[in-house]
Structure 1
């Protein structure tokens, strides 16, 4: 265990990664501050030293993963003219779906205080799905100028449809082994692959 009073490098990410492991192993009910710090091999009080409570911690975890997704979407700009348009979009969609375990996403929705903190963070400018949509739109506009997306294609609507679908799947997937309901289960990449094909495949010259 890390000694008391010694700074822990990358503490936030260490705690976030530990929380994801706890949820993956024990389910949402197993996520407690003590379980997280034990998994992270930290002193018991570390989480409450840096976060107001478990709800704020869950919200910050979700916001951190949204920001990671936004950074991944920004990387689309470096892919203009490379690979295929559909393939590049699919890689980003898959990365977004992998950015947050289904059980953690459900926690952020079902814990009212965590949901409130998450929304407050987004309203305050934390990068989330609006930023991701903007990056996808900018990428498609650049590919349109390069001739790989047909002139006249409504790239803004394509970006909205893709990001909206990813958001829906990310926030409604049922974790593996959860028998509750008929919502989409993990491994939803096939759904986004079909969507990308529909959005781009109907347009000539997409490079898909």
Structure 2
């Protein structure tokens, strides 16, 4: 690795590299060495910006959660417009894309990471996705938004974890059926 080369937004460069490794090689291959090699920076660069690798991973998850929460705020702003099942299905495709599924597996598999994320209940990303959907269903004035959201996220996680590509119509139909029972 060259030294003395100025790096632009090195933190973002490291996060982007981590996502590429996660998608290409899976959560088990996500190591500090793999991330820094993918980002084409010296290993010390990561440790200059983060206390340790688990802190880096925690920030990667926090950034993902912040994006989901921002998406949820937009959904709530637009409550009453569009098809509820379609809006939730679109959100689920963002939650359970390859990076999202990889991060969920990573969090489940790394106890230290869960500790860093200060979660006593629920899996980060899944818990926030459930909260976003419940808040949106509440804004749409649906009955039992929390229970409907739990069912939607749980069922969607199973569907998106299958080997085959996920059919958008299947997800929309699943969401429509699950939220219809909560009316």
TM-score in terms of structure 2 length: 0.75
User: Structure 1: which 5+ runs fail to align?
Assistant: 174-183
Question: Once the 2 structures are TM-superposed, how far is the Cα of residue 83 of structure 1 from its aligned partner?
Answer: 1.7
What is the alpha-carbon root mean square deviation over aligned residues?
A: 3.3
In structure 2, distance between residues paired with 1:106 and 1:43: 27
Following the alignment from structure 1 to structure 2, what is the Cα–Cα distance between the partners of residues 106 and 22?
14
- 2:108: which partner in 1? 109
Q: How far apart are residue 84 of structure 1 and its match?
A: 0.8
Report the Cα offset of residue 90 of structure 1.
1.0
State the number of aligned residues.
179
Larger CA Rg, structure 1 vs 2: 1
State the alpha-carbon separation in 2 of the partners of residues 139 and 103 from structure 1: 25
Out of 136, 141, 150, the residue aligned to residue 139 of structure 1 is 136
Contact (CA 8 Å) 1:33, 1:47: kept in 2 or not?
yes
- Note closer, same or farther for the CA distance 1:2–1:84 as it changes in structure 2 (3 Å cut): farther
Paired residue for 2:54? 55
2:174 is the counterpart of 1:195: yes
Matches within 5 A, 1:1-208: 4=4, 6=6, 8-9=8-9, 11-98=10-97, 100-118=99-117, 120=118, 122=119, 128-144=125-141, 153-166=143-156, 168-169=157-158, 173=161, 184-185=162-163, 187-188=165-166, 192-201=171-180
- Greater fraction helix: 2
**Aligned 8 A contact 1:58 1:114 in 2:** yes
Which blocks of at least 5 consecutive residues in structure 2 are unaligned?
none
Contact map agreement 2:26 2:102 (CA 8 A) in 1: yes
Which aligned segments of 4 or more residues in structure 1 are displaced greater than 6 angstroms? Answer: none
